[in-house]
Structure 1
Amino acid sequence: MAAVLFDFSGTLFRIESTESWLRAVLAETEISLPEPELIRAARALDTVGALPGGSFPSGRIPDELAPVWEIRDKSAELHRTAYTGLSRQVSLPDPALHDALYDRHMTPTAWRPYPDTAEVLGALRERGVVVGVVSNIGWDLRPVFRDHGLDPYVDAYVLSYEHGIQKPDPRLFATACDALGVDPRETLMVGDDRRADGGAAALGCAVHFVDHLPVTKRPDGLRPVLDLVG
């Protein structure tokens, strides 16, 4: 393999828990909630899927949000509308908290790399294998990689909202291969979403899936990539 493309959320990094997310925003805004109410609100936010990169909505997407939800990763505006719309299904003490929560999830401190992320990216660099990050997302994740010291290992970022194309559309993977100057047939795509990331197979890429688990429960899920690259 000449190149490896990685998904971002659930593959290289994992977002904080919904409870941690809510606690951080309440602290930043100096709004207090009784502990039982905070736990209730965090669980409700998790159930509706309000945290990008967190749990998928467990119930039906509201009718007014359904059209936006399907194309949420095609622009920054659509992404914010979709997730704040889900968040607003949950009653919070100040309506401004819904946008504050969305803003929080875009900060580097809200994300943690998996334990073997740096090791695997570093090993690929030593082998001369180029790396791209291909993500369905509505905001610029580059600061997350810079803050965690992983940006030097990434040769190209291809983000859906910057191209108006979202996975599994093969054109997004083709854009990544072009940016890296590699043949898709010599490229491995690594992700956690069989539908979205599996779209790379239509282009001729090999595909490998990892489990979307909390950081503490997936200590070495990326290491098989090194064997696949050869």
Structure 2
Amino acid sequence: MAAVLFDFSGTLFRIESTESWLRAVLAEADVLLPEPELIRAARDLETAGALPGGAFPSGRLPDAVAAVWDIRDKSAELHRAAYTGLSRQVPLPDPALHDALYDRHMTPAAWQPYPDTAEVLGALRERGVAVGVVSNIGWDLRPIFRDHGLDPYVGAYVLSYEHGIQKPDPRLFATACEALGTDPRDALMVGDDRRADGGAAALGCGVHFVDHLPVSRRPDSLRPVLDLIR
């Protein structure tokens, strides 16, 4: 393999918990909620699927969200509209908190790399294997990689909202391979979504899946990638 393409959320990084997300925003806004209300609001936000990179919505989508849900990663505007629409199903003390929640999830503090992310990316660089990040997302994740010291390992970022194309569309993977100067047949796609990330197989890429688990429960799922590229 000449290149490895990685998904972002649930593959290299994991978003913080919904409770942590809400606590951080309330603290930043200097808004106090009684603990039982805070816990209830966090639970309701999780049920609504309001945290990007977190749990999917478990109930019926609001009409406005349903209209854009399947294409939410094609633009920054659609992504924000979808997730703030979900958040607004949950009453909060100040309506401005819904946009603050969305803004929080785009910060480096909201994301944590999996324990073996740096090790695997570093080993790939030592072996001369190119690395790309291919993500369905509505915002620029590059600052996350820079803040966590992982940007030097990445040769190309191919983000759906910048191209108006979402995985599993093969064109997104083809764009990444072209940016890395790699034939798709010499590339491996690593992700946690069998439908979205599995789209790379249409180009002839190898595909390897990992489980979308909390960081504490997935210490070494990326290490098998190093065996696959030998």
SS in 1 for 2:201: helix
Distance in structure 1 (CA, Å) of the matches to 2:195 and 2:61:
19
Q: Deviations over 1:137-157 (max 9, x none)?
A: 000000000000000000000
Amino acid at match of 2:173: F
Aligned partner of 1:73 in structure 2 is 73
Aligned partner of 2:144 in structure 1 is 144
SS in 1 for 2:64: coil
Instruction: State the shift of 1:199 in Å.
Output: 0.5
Q: Where does the alignment leave 5 or more consecutive residues of structure 2 unmatched?
A: none
SS in 2 for 1:98: helix
Distance in structure 1 (CA, Å) of the matches to 2:56 and 2:203:
27
Aligned partner of 1:9 in structure 2 is 9
Aligned partner of 1:171 in structure 2 is 171
Aligned partner of 1:63 in structure 2 is 63
Aligned partner of 2:103 in structure 1 is 103
Q: Where does the alignment leave 5 or more consecutive residues of structure 1 unmatched?
A: none
Instruction: State the shift of 1:28 in Å.
Output: 0.1
Aligned partner of 2:115 in structure 1 is 115
Amino acid at match of 2:124: L
Aligned partner of 1:217 in structure 2 is 217
Distance in structure 1 (CA, Å) of the matches to 2:31 and 2:7:
35
Distance in structure 2 (CA, Å) of the matches to 1:62 and 1:229:
44
Aligned partner of 1:124 in structure 2 is 124
Aligned partner of 1:22 in structure 2 is 22
TM-score (norm 2): 0.99
Distance in structure 1 (CA, Å) of the matches to 2:43 and 2:51:
11
Distance in structure 1 (CA, Å) of the matches to 2:67 and 2:87:
17
SS in 2 for 1:222: coil
Q: Deviations over 1:60-91 (max 9, x none)?
A: 21222112111000000000000000000000
Distance in structure 1 (CA, Å) of the matches to 2:59 and 2:185:
39
Q: Deviations over 1:172-216 (max 9, x none)?
A: 000000000100000000000001000001111000000000000
> How large is the RMSD of aligned CA atoms in angstroms?
0.5
TM-score (norm 1): 0.99
Q: Is the 8 A contact 2:46 2:54 kept in 1?
A: yes
In the comparison of the two structures, how many residue pairs are matched?
Answer: 230
Aligned partner of 1:199 in structure 2 is 199
Aligned partner of 1:92 in structure 2 is 92
Distance in structure 1 (CA, Å) of the matches to 2:66 and 2:199:
22
% identical aligned pairs = 87
